[in-house]
Amino acid sequence: MRLKLDIDPDLVAMMQAEIEAGEKAVTGAMREAGKDLKTAWRGQITGAGLGRRLANSIRNATYPKTGDSLNATALVWSKAPVIIGAHNAGPLIRSRDGFWLAIPTEAAGKSLRGGRITPGEWERRTGLRLRFVYRRRGPSLLVAEGRLNTKGRAVASRSKTGRGRATVPIFLLVPQVRLPKRLDLAREAERAADGVPGKIVGKWVERRL
């Protein structure tokens, strides 16, 4: 007596099809999760008032870059990690030399190189000398003898009579300052990770329907 066993459909083909469907589902889910996290992080940055340029430093990529895999991963990162990390952590900032941090007032204006102006640059640009004023309460000051122009910036006084001349605070001096925590990137990352299983199942089911 002979027994003949025919399996229809082919189990090997079925399993291979399921593996391929799983690879596409996992890869698609990771690609979507990475894109969603990038969008969420960028939204946080612009929402915190840190600007579109810094928000655009957030990038994402999915690996493998070509093809599908059950081990697909998504990577989201910033091209300005130091700045992003500072706003995410809210660190305590101290002077490098152990003295004062000079925080420019509105009268100091902006640096020609972008960002905050330093006392040295301010003196070179205006030709005025800064004078240290110690205060027991509140931050000490670096002040200059001059006048305020129409933009509220301190400039040299040209008046021979001293009219309009005043002692103008140019920098506030503090021993340290804590940068406010303006971002919570971990919250969005956890939310994206928690949503991955559902995305995988959804995409796997879609391919079977």
Residue 3's pLDDT is 59
Tell me phi and psi for residue 114, to 5 degrees: 95, 150
Report the distance separating Cα 58 and Cα 52, nearest Å: 10
Write the CA distances from 157 to 126, 144, 164, 169, integer angstroms: 11, 11, 8, 15
Q: Does residue 108 contact residue 171 with C-beta atoms inside 8 Å?
A: yes
Query: 17 vs 74, which has greater pLDDT?
Result: 74
Q: What's the pLDDT at 163?
A: 72
What is the pLDDT, as a whole number, of residue 26? 95
* SS3 (DSSP) at 22: helix
Average pLDDT taken over every residue of the chain: 87
DSSP-assigned states of every residue in 118-156: PHHHHHHHH-PPPEEE--SSS-EEEEEEEEE-TTS-EE-
pTM, two decimal places: 0.65
- pLDDT of residue 10 exceeding 80: no
pLDDT in tens, 19-54: 899 999 999 999 999 999 999 999 999 999 999 999
Show the tokens assigned to 41.
């992080």
199 backbone dihedrals φ, ψ, rounded to 5°? -65, -40
**pLDDT per residue as tens digits for the range 146-164:** 888 878 888 887 776 667 7
Token pair of 113 as six digits: 């190189």
Is a pLDDT exceeding 80 seen at residue 92? no
pLDDT (0 to 100) of residue 61: 97
The residue-averaged pLDDT of 76-84 equals 94
